[in-house]
Amino acid sequence: MPNLKKKIAPIRALASPKNITPSRKTKSGSVSSDPDTTLAQPSAVKRKSSPKTPSGPRTQSQLAKLAKVSRLTVSRAFAGEPGVSEETRARILELARKHSYRPNAAARALQATRFDSVLFLAGLSGAAPYLPHSLLTALAEECTACGLKLIYAHGREPGPSLDRLLADLCCDGIIIGNFAYDRQTMVDQVRREPVPAVWLNDRRESDSVYSDEKTGARLAVEHLVQLGHTRLAYIHDRWQHTNRDLGHYSEDDRRDGCSEAVAALNAEAGAGSDADQTNPPITLTVKAAERRRPLGAETLREELRALLAAPGSPTGVIAYSEEEFLLVQRAANECGLRIPENLSIVVFTWGGPLITALNPTAIRGDEKAMAAAALALLQGRWASESAASPPVARPPRLVIGSTTAPVSP
């Protein structure tokens, strides 16, 4: 056995990779070895270097040490609180930018038990969100002014998906848009959340901020009557939902508001009474689709054309939205009527590029006042932790544009 090691050693040397010559197949199929080619030693696998750990400060204490101030001074500098000179604040912020330091929002929230954020839960009306863009913009600006962040999310309908959404998004309060679904189920689900909720642009018995559409309708009627118009029409083509309980409250309030305003003006003036036959009453023609049977653009345009071409046709029209406004404008052009010389139009709107370009006389929602009222309701709930707050109505405003004028003789 002593000679066994001596026999194995040469074999191991021959089997070493550096002594092995690779074989290759020739064109004839025979295997030959290439004396000029040897197998290279397997090189070390190059691995991507792991990202370097930032060398700068990662906590407020480390940044304070770097700036040679206390941690409280750093905290005040970032929060914009008094007690820190502008020179010191600027130096701390500059060091933070230089070393890519950012305050830990999660740690700050745990310490203050607040997230300083509000969730806007956009509701859907039918297939599209019923959310005026100008109202969302006003809400974002109001949150910024109050030092709050606004988080935007869609909630399609009540249920487990909404539970997950509310659990994942950390916020101090919820502002909810109009939902064209089972509202009571939504209310019950939101009330289970540990944070208060306010409904925006929706009329509810409590915790809601909405535009007073009946007041807007009265402003529209009074404006046309003051210009001498006594034959009026209200136009509404489609409903947001076939179920009255799920549609938007403005669909009924704008129509009913026009009827109530006309009735009130007639009663006040004693129009059409036996005592004064010389004072003709104000008439209102309501051209609106039934809730379960929308007229459609073409059908409504034909009916509008017939209405405007008939003897004693309306000289003043109130349109539910921009869609109806454009249909009335087109029908008037087809009838040879000029706006506002022969026909005056008032439209309900939240603004936008189209309205800015056309410059109509409009009943416009006061989005800034509504956004401020919604945040005030939330802040009141934070302060008092009350169970509910009474609803807040904000009247729209009359914006006189180029589509109304005194009635022509």
Q: Record the tokens describing residue 18, joined without a space.
A: 């550096």
pTM of structure? 0.70
Q: Give me the pLDDT at residue 32, please.
A: 46
CA distance 191 to 52: 47
Task: Say whether both 271 and 197 belong to one domain.
Answer: no
Task: Say whether both 248 and 374 belong to one domain.
Answer: no
| Chain position carrying tokens 């007690």 | 83
Q: Has residue 314 been placed in a domain? A: yes
Of the candidates 303, 309, 307, 317, which has an alpha carbon nearest to the alpha carbon of residue 360?
317
Q: Give me the pLDDT at residue 7, please.
A: 43
Q: Record the tokens describing residue 377, joined without a space.
A: 């309701």
CA distance 240 to 128: 10
Residues near 241 by Cβ (< 8 Å), separated by ≥ 6? 125, 126, 180, 247, 248
Average the pLDDT over each of 35-49, 247-261, 295-309 and give the range with the smallest value.
35-49
> Which residues constitute the domain of residue 327?
213-365
Tens digit of each residue's pLDDT (9 = 90 or more) over 311-325: 999 999 999 999 899
Band (89; pLDDT cuts 50, 70, 90): confident
Task: Say whether both 344 and 312 belong to one domain.
Answer: yes
Of the chain, the percentage scoring pLDDT greater than 90 comes to 34
Q: Has residue 184 been placed in a domain? A: yes
Q: What is the CATH number of the domain that holds 99?
A: 1.10.260.40
Task: Say whether both 291 and 163 belong to one domain.
Answer: no
Q: Residues 289, 293, 295, CA angle at the centre, nearest 5°? A: 50
Q: Has residue 5 been placed in a domain? A: no
Band (271; pLDDT cuts 50, 70, 90): low
Alpha-carbon Rg for the chain in angstroms: 37
CA distance 407 to 91: 67
Q: Has residue 30 been placed in a domain? A: no
When mean pLDDT is compared over 19-33, 161-175, 248-262, the highest value belongs to: 248-262
Task: Say whether both 255 and 390 belong to one domain.
Answer: no
Mean pLDDT of 302-306: 91
Q: Give me the pLDDT at residue 56, please.
A: 65
Q: Give me the pLDDT at residue 127, please.
A: 41
What is the average pLDDT score of the chain?
77
More confident residue, 329 or 177: 329
More confident residue, 377 or 388: 377
Task: Say whether both 334 and 384 belong to one domain.
Answer: no
Task: Say whether both 206 and 221 belong to one domain.
Answer: no
Task: Say whether both 222 and 317 belong to one domain.
Answer: yes
Q: Has residue 408 been placed in a domain? A: no
H or E element that contains 334: helix 322-334
Q: Has residue 200 been placed in a domain? A: yes
Task: Say whether both 237 and 361 belong to one domain.
Answer: yes
Q: Has residue 150 been placed in a domain? A: yes
Q: Give me the pLDDT at residue 189, please.
A: 72
Q: Has residue 9 been placed in a domain? A: no
Task: Say whether both 275 and 140 belong to one domain.
Answer: no
pLDDT for 33 beyond 50: no
Residues near 49 by Cβ (< 8 Å), separated by ≥ 6? none
Burial, 330: exposed, middle or buried (Cβ in 10 Å; 0-12, 13-18, 19+)? middle
CA distance 194 to 261: 43
Tens digit of each residue's pLDDT (9 = 90 or more) over 134-185: 998 999 999 999 888 898 887 655 556 666 666 666 778 888 886 655 566 6
Q: What is the CATH number of the domain that holds 192?
A: 3.40.50.2300
Task: Say whether both 354 and 224 belong to one domain.
Answer: yes
Q: Record the tokens describing residue 56, joined without a space.
A: 């700068």
Task: Say whether both 314 and 265 belong to one domain.
Answer: yes
Q: Record the tokens describing residue 151, joined without a space.
A: 């988080």
Number of domains the chain contains: 3
